[in-house]
Amino acid sequence: MEGLTLSEAEQRYYCDLFSYCDTESTKKVASNGRVLELFRAAQLPNDVVMQIMELCGATRLGYFGRSQFYIALKLVAVAQSGLPLRVESLNTVKDLPLPRFVVSKNEQESRHTALYSSDADNPASYSGVIPPPPGRIQVKKGSVSHDTVQQRTSTDQQESTSPVVSPQQSPPTSPHTWRKHNRHPSGGNNERPLAGPGPFWAPFSEAQPGSSTSSDPIWSGHSPPPHQENWVSFADTPPTSALLAMHPASVQDQTTVRTVASATTTNEIRRQSSSYDDPWKITDEQRQYYVNQFKTIQPDLNGFIPGSAAKEFFTKSKLPILELSHIWELSDFDKDGALTLDEFCAAFHLVVARKNGYDLPEKLPESLMPKLIDLEDSTVIPVISEVGEQTGEVGYSSSPAEAPPSKSPSMPSLNQTWPELNQSSEQWETFSERSSSSQTLTQFDSNIAPADPDTAIVHPVPIRMTPSKIHMQEMELKRTGSDHANPTSPLLVKPPDLPEENKMSSSVKFTPGNTVTDGYSSSDSYTSDPEQIGSTVTRQRSHSGTSPDNTAPPPPPPRPHPSHSRSSSLDMNRSFSVTPGQQQAGVVAYPPAVPPRPQPSQGAGPHVHRPVDAEGLIAHTSTSPQQIPEQPNFADFSQFEAFAVSGVNKEEEDEIETHSEVLQAKGTTPLAPPPKPIRRRLKSEDELRPEAEEHTQKTGVIAAVLASQPSIPRSVGKDKKAIQASIRRNKETNTVLARLNSELQQQLKDVLEERISLEVQLEQLRPFSHL
């Protein structure tokens, strides 16, 4: 074996360890049993242990001589710091932390009792336990640690009693033991001048970051050696006594103690992380300290620390930015870029833990959750939304939290809530996703479709890809369509008209198709457009036109319109003729003024298959295109009756036609036609208005508006009420038209996009031309 150079600390440490293993007191050979136990306590994987044993020569010799033992210990330290095991590394690795061994529980307890047993006993008791690693610090900072060590020796006794207290502020973290030790803070503090612990800590703080994952070889439960920083050992013992299960945690705790000291000097006190029940729990003293620090930054305890201030503060901890960034992510619960008191405490706690060598968890431990952090026994008060999001977000991957929830007895409820929260957050997410699924829409359609058997009108099912107002409106529209006696129902219904109903039916047909074909793009766009008309119209459009490349959901039931440009009109006729009678008062007027439904053919439009019921209306209107009184359709059909209807119908018809054409053509249809007929229709818009179809509605609205104009005078002459009604209707028409307009524009955009994508696909499909 090559020569092994050990630092003083290492020498001492190894010597102690050897004595510990030297059960037979041979001073030469460490018993294999003890050695193996020791190595097991090192928490290294078995193969690593085997490798170590092989490297140190023990396997060759068959036993652990002193040199082999030392070499093995050094290799353990190497392995624990994550470096590859090499013989060369024995001497080349500088500043290697002492190997860390997690002592078994009994040992720890014994140590613990030893610790508790007062200062005097401490030194004595220590001999019985595995000697704690000599000040790690020393490994890192020679001179300083020496100083501190010396100081420590002097203050040994006291230190043992008042462990952590030293660094002025950092109170011991561990619950019981710590607290106990805290009782003697004054003693310890006095003994230990700040300078002492200061430099002492400083090395720790340096050491910690330096060997992030590894290293501080903390002998859990090792009693503070005389020269050892008592508080350090303190840290060791309490953890061990408390909760052995978390060996890494306890180890961390111990390191935390040490780092606490350094923290103070570096202007950050690192509280020892945690109680032993839960390594992440914040103790009273710790919390108090954090609160004080919070106050220095932000006097208002209920206020926030802005991100920049927090950044400066935590940068002082000398942790790498990446880790600070991660800590921030963990602790900023509400992701608002600022830290509340709870968040700040959590962040501070994590920083302390990290400085002590604790690995940062992937997700925030429960004890650090905002509002869950409590002094002692935190009553879990999960911030449901935050936790949910946190768990949802952070906890996506099953990150191994260093403080497994199960380990914290105080947080049982939290454990339960977490999965719920997780679930809820996920559900919450899925909900939103689902909401936009076409499935909803199609179902929608089917529900609505068989709306009005009487009138044989297929109610325009406002099939919206995404649930939206429009949807609701459309639904309502549909309903109103059947009744259509809702002059007041905004937009939805230009209620009463027959044409409306017809339109609705046709639009219904459209919508199913639209929704299906249009896929989500249009629906999405529709979503934004609250106008139901638009939605229905777009539906139709997309439906009719698109189909090809849309992976649309299964077409809703009544889909006739694709083919029924002509037929629809017929249907409209049929329905229209039927509806008039059934429609309410307003409708009544239609039949007389508007030529019978069958006319659909009349309008050029009808063939455009205005899926919208408008067709029916159109039929009417077609006959008397311009005669239709302008009065607003929905409001007051009774007044305008015939001509209103006819006018509206016509307009709608045309509009519908054009729209449907546009829809179907998917980009091939020039949009020019629609505008034209629309204008024409406007006059008869009133009548057209009843169409609730999106598509037709749009056009209808326009038509209605126009229609209403001329009709107004008539109404005046007829009836005062009619005027008011017509005014109201006009207003409604206006809004409807406006919405229709925007919807149409949106549809246009979508259609163009679809067209482009279709063309691209077409090109791709063409076998040889473009390859």
The residues that touch another protein, with contacts defined as CB under 8 A, are: 306-308, 310-311, 314, 321-322, 324-326, 328-330, 332, 335-337, 362, 393-394, 396-397, 399, 429, 432-433, 436-438, 519-521, 524-525, 551, 753, 757, 760-761, 764
DSSP labels for 161-212?
A: HSTTT-STTPPP-STHHHHHHHTSHHHHHHHS-TTTHHHHHHHHHHHHHHTT
Q: By C-beta, is 351 or 704 nearer to another protein?
A: 351
Q: By C-beta, is 296 or 397 nearer to another protein?
A: 397
What is the Cα–Cα distance from 12 to 405, expressed in whole angstroms?
A: 38
Closest approach of another protein to the CB of residue 82, in Å: 18
Q: Both tokens of residue 78?
A: 């190497």
CB 207 within 8 A of CB 218: no
Closest approach of another protein to the CB of residue 396, in Å: 4
CB 518 within 8 A of CB 666: no
Q: How far is CA 662 from CA 79, 382, 543, 693, in A?
A: 72, 54, 11, 15
DSSP secondary structure code for residue 503 in this structure: H
Please identify which residue in the block is written with the tokens 């029940």: 277
Q: Both tokens of residue 615?
A: 């067709």
Q: By C-beta, is 118 or 761 nearer to another protein?
A: 761
What is the Cα–Cα distance from 132 to 114, expressed in whole angstroms?
A: 13
Q: By C-beta, is 261 or 324 nearer to another protein?
A: 324
Q: By C-beta, is 39 or 314 nearer to another protein?
A: 314
Checking phi first, is residue 143 left (phi over 0); if not, alpha (psi -120 to 50) or beta? alpha
Closest approach of another protein to the CB of residue 760, in Å: 6
Q: By C-beta, is 33 or 306 nearer to another protein?
A: 306
Q: By C-beta, is 23 or 745 nearer to another protein?
A: 745
Closest approach of another protein to the CB of residue 468, in Å: 14
Q: Both tokens of residue 19?
A: 């004595």
What is the Cα–Cα distance from 169 to 347, expressed in whole angstroms?
A: 18
Closest approach of another protein to the CB of residue 757, in Å: 6
Q: By C-beta, is 679 or 755 nearer to another protein?
A: 755
Residues ≥6 apart with Cβ < 8 Å to 83: 89, 93
Q: Both tokens of residue 34?
A: 């003890």
Instruction: Give the three-class secondary structure for 8.
Output: helix
Instruction: Give the three-class secondary structure for 525.
Output: helix
Residues ≥6 apart with Cβ < 8 Å to 716: 722, 723
What is the Cα–Cα distance from 728 to 714, expressed in whole angstroms?
A: 15
Closest approach of another protein to the CB of residue 319, in Å: 10
CB 698 within 8 A of CB 740: yes
Render the burial of 566-596: b for 16+ CB within 10 Å, e for the rest. ebbbbbbbbbbbbbbebbbebbbbbbebbbb
Q: By C-beta, is 288 or 742 nearer to another protein?
A: 742
Closest approach of another protein to the CB of residue 432, in Å: 7
Q: What angle do CA 758, 760, 763 make, to 5 degrees?
A: 110
Q: By C-beta, is 22 or 518 nearer to another protein?
A: 518
CB 736 within 8 A of CB 686: no
Dihedral (Cα; 740, 746, 747, 752), 10-degree rounding? 150
What is the Cα–Cα distance from 771 to 767, expressed in whole angstroms?
A: 7
Q: How far is CA 440 from CA 437, 468, 609, 693, in A?
A: 6, 11, 26, 19
Q: By C-beta, is 343 or 613 nearer to another protein?
A: 343
Closest approach of another protein to the CB of residue 362, in Å: 6
Dihedral (Cα; 659, 665, 670, 676), 10-degree rounding? -20
Q: By C-beta, is 60 or 335 nearer to another protein?
A: 335
3-state helix, strand, coil in the chain (%, to 5): 65, 0, 35
Q: By C-beta, is 324 or 491 nearer to another protein?
A: 324
Q: By C-beta, is 257 or 310 nearer to another protein?
A: 310
Closest approach of another protein to the CB of residue 722, in Å: 39
Please identify which residue in the block is written with the tokens 């609705």: 504
Closest approach of another protein to the CB of residue 342, in Å: 17
Closest approach of another protein to the CB of residue 324, in Å: 5
